[in-house]
Structure 1
Amino acid sequence: MKRRTWTAVGLALVVCATAGAAQAQPLKNENLLVGMPQGFKLGFKDSKNGMNMQEFIPTGETVQNWTEMVTVQVFLSRKDLQPTPFLAAMQKQWSDGCKGSTSTAVSTGKVNGYAAAAVLLRCPLLASTGKPETTMIKAIKSNDSFYVVQRAVRSVPTPERLETMKKYIESVSVCDSRLATAPCPTVR
């Protein structure tokens, strides 16, 4: 049986679960639903100035030297942030930091009733690492917080790898057990 790990990140809630866990648990309040790719581990975690961040990398790699990374950011109580302008600011930082970079809108609309947008950013050669880097980013504005999830690779990804990144980003969602319009799944 293939093992899949899901992480639900809420205001102060971090739930890691695996298929085959003994007891299903209902999620409470608002939660970011993001899957941890198989073979990844938590490499970095920090909370400051109302922002919680986690970086996940493949087992055997470090946050200083990685081939692939998932970054999860939760901006607590930031009702002022909006997905499209936030991603536009990230695109500008990206292009300022990488000559020849490109950006492509992936999606805009709603995710489980919440405003969301996603973008694909490509850098042919990142000066700080001497490697190409590609990242897909999704931002979601909810009632309680603002969420940003990135999946990045330090390479020029194949079409298959890009499709994996896209499916991963598409699976990111927010739920709220207090709202019938944004129901939460039961987590094992």
Structure 2
Amino acid sequence: MIMNMLSIKPPGYKVAYQAKNDTAFALEMIPEKESLDQWTEMFSVHVIRNIGGESLTSFHSLMAAKWLDMCPCGSTEILERGHEQGHPTLLWVHKCAHGTYQGHPTGKPENTWFKALLSNGNVVVAQKAFKFEPSAEAVAFWLDFLRNLRVNPRLESLH
């Protein structure tokens, strides 16, 4: 089943935050029984407009550098490069054994899987974050979920 990034949310999730401005759109979802200030899992979609000729490789490099600033002991690994509907895609993971929140160590791991697509000068990023070490089954489920997501042209028009 091909999932539409806006018409479907992950099973058992609720919208916790949504914002839009001239350059970006963000939608964050968390499990129904969690709160935004105490989440342990999050699924989010971001649209970043007019990235000025950046490639997905340079976008990933920027994200990886920011991640390593937040978590010097962390790692980043590109899992797949591809194309969907004629647009380049990138799937990668950031892992951090000891996450931080607003510059303060949490003592908890944070692992985030990303799928990005570059289309018409915009980057669409879907990401799944865990503030714990997920099981192999959870990782497999979310990687399949991310792989099956397709960009809805309506999503790009939200800018």
1:140/1:147 contact within 8 Å kept: yes
Partner in structure 2 of residue 123 of structure 1: 96
Q: Which has the higher strand share?
A: 1
Q: Which residue of 1 aligns with 2:138?
A: 161
Q: Extract unaligned runs of 5+ from structure 1.
A: 10-15, 17-34, 178-188
Q: Matched residue of 1:130: which SS?
A: coil
Which of 82, 103, 124 is the aligned partner of 1:109? Answer: 82
| Match of residue 132 from structure 1 | 109
Distance of aligned partners of 1:41 and 1:62 in 2 relative to their CA distance in 1, 3 Å threshold: same
**Residues 50, 124 of structure 1: CA spacing in aligned structure 2 closer, same or farther, 3 A cutoff?**
same
Deviation at 1:8, TM superposition (A): 4.0
What's 2:129 paired with? 152
Q: Which amino acid letter does the alignment assign opposite residue 147 of structure 1? A: V
1:176 Cα offset (Å)? 4.8
Q: Percent identity?
A: 26
CA drift of 1:172 comes to 1.9
Residue identity in the other structure for 1:105: I
Larger mean CA deviation between 66-75 and 167-176 belongs to 167-176
Q: What CA RMSD, in Å, does the superposition of the two structures yield over aligned residues?
A: 2.1
Give the paired residue count. Answer: 149
42, 45, 49: which is aligned to 1:69? 42
Extract unaligned runs of 5+ from structure 2.
155-159
TM-score, scaled relative to structure 2: 0.83
Are the counterparts in 1 of residues 4 and 150 from structure 2 also a CA contact under 8 Å? no
Higher helix share: 2
Alignment of 1:11-160 (within 5 A): 16=7, 35-78=8-51, 80-128=53-101, 129-143=106-120, 145-160=122-137
Q: Could you say what secondary structure the match of 2:133 adopts?
A: coil
Distance 1:175 1:48 in 2: 19
Which aligned segments of 4 or more residues in structure 1 are displaced greater than 6 angstroms? none
Larger Rg belongs to: 1
TM-score by length of 1: 0.72
Q: Distance in 1 between matches of 2:42 and 2:122?
A: 23
Q: Distance in 2 between matches of 1:63 and 1:51?
A: 20
Q: 1:159 to 1:43 in 2, by over 3 A?
A: same
Instruction: Give the conservation status (yes or no) of the 8 Å contact 1:79–1:141.
Output: no
